[in-house]
Amino acid sequence: MTATTHPQLRSVNDGPLYVAFEVGKRSWTVGMTSGFGVPPWVQTMAPGEWATLQRVLAKARTRFGLAAAAPVVSCYEAGRDGFWIHRGLTAQGVDNRVVDSASIEVDRRARRNKTDRIDARKLVALLVRACLGDPAWREVRVPAVAEEAARHVSRERSDLVGEQTRLVNQLRSWLMTYGAALPARRAANWWTRVRDYAGAPLPAEVQARLTRADVRLALVQSQIAVLDAAQRAAVAAAPVDSPARRLAQLKGVGATSIATLLEEGLVWRAFQNRRQVGGVLGFAPTHYASGELVRDRGISHAGNRRLQSVAIQLAWGWVRWQRASPMTQWFVARFGTGKRARRIGIVAVARKLVIALWRVATTGAVPDGAVLKAA
């Protein structure tokens, strides 16, 4: 049995300086304290002014009677600014934590006071609790610079696919107002051959609008093709024992899905167990039990939307291409009949599958009954 030790402080003055940043567009509100029972000191500074921050920290150490070299522990809420603040604070020698805003406890009354000063004071108090072992919030795992940059590829592709869908739906809706349908196969200048409900060509103004929309659609499709080629090339060029190549050997798992899984953190988030994987995925059950009232409220949905989307797609592909897998057989036996049952069951398959793929990517353990691609 491993003994758990906690820091033993002789007095408040022996501890670190606790700092919380309420990050704004034009200014940062900084709340500072030396521990429990010490009223926070709140200051305002310009964003990213590290020299100013060092002066404020020096004044805070003096104010709270801390040593000039006392360590600094800080936090701020994850948001629009991303992780550059974390990296800047780390470069300044600050032990920083990035906090999931949704996990911060709030007053549940209908209306409450909220200002940057109030938020900074509350955040620094929660930081003290978190540092002393009280799970006051959930912290965000910060990716490395290269890992964060790599996410732009799959995220850009997702945005482009959404834009492609929007443009195609627009074309269909415009044609529907004239009793026409969008051709499945569209050659050059296809809009000139479309006829309305009476067999007449479309008006010139409508054809002009379709022309411009078709140009935008062609541009989006060409950019998607470029990203798809880049993802396939990245998987092909990866080392044999890399997570990408391990996943690529499984039938039904494509380069686009692999890129999304890895870039959204299947490996760099350093999961410790399958529950953490399911938590990020958001396909975990949410039970409600209070007194005699017990209710199952379904899955939480509070997860990474991109991982959720690719997990469902992978699950449908898995039950199609991996028919000998125990996961597929379980799905067929339990949810094999009825469209609604299959839509519910595929979520369970998606959660099981992502956990299995996490094990493949990190340890190389191939799921039982999985079929590998031909070499």
Q: What is the pLDDT of residues 62-105, one digit of tens each?
A: 999 999 999 999 999 998 999 999 999 999 999 999 999 888 88
Confidence of residue 13 (pLDDT cuts 50, 70, 90): low
Q: What is the pLDDT of residue 292?
A: 81
Q: Stretch 18-42: mean pLDDT, rounded?
A: 94
Q: What is the pLDDT of residue 14?
A: 67
Q: What is the pLDDT of residue 11?
A: 52
Does the pLDDT value for residue 124 go beyond 70? yes
Does the pLDDT value for residue 9 go beyond 60? no
Does the pLDDT value for residue 5 go beyond 50? no
Q: Stretch 227-241: mean pLDDT, rounded?
A: 93
Count the Cβ atoms, other than its own, within 10 Å of residue 72.
21
Beta strands at 95-99 and 28-33: parallel, antiparallel or unpaired: unpaired
Does the pLDDT value for residue 219 go beyond 50? yes
Q: What is the pLDDT of residue 134?
A: 87
Confidence of residue 299 (pLDDT cuts 50, 70, 90): confident
Q: What is the pLDDT of residue 10?
A: 45
Query: b or e along 226-249 (b: 16 or more beta carbons within 10 Å of the residue's beta carbon)?
Result: ebeeebbebbeebeeeebbbbbbb
Question: Across the chain, what does the average pLDDT equal?
Answer: 90
pLDDT-above-70 percentage for the chain: 96
Q: Stretch 348-362: mean pLDDT, rounded?
A: 94
Q: What is the pLDDT of residue 108?
A: 78
Q: Stretch 39-46: mean pLDDT, rounded?
A: 95
Does the pLDDT value for residue 12 go beyond 60? no
Global pTM?
A: 0.82
Q: What is the pLDDT of residue 119?
A: 92
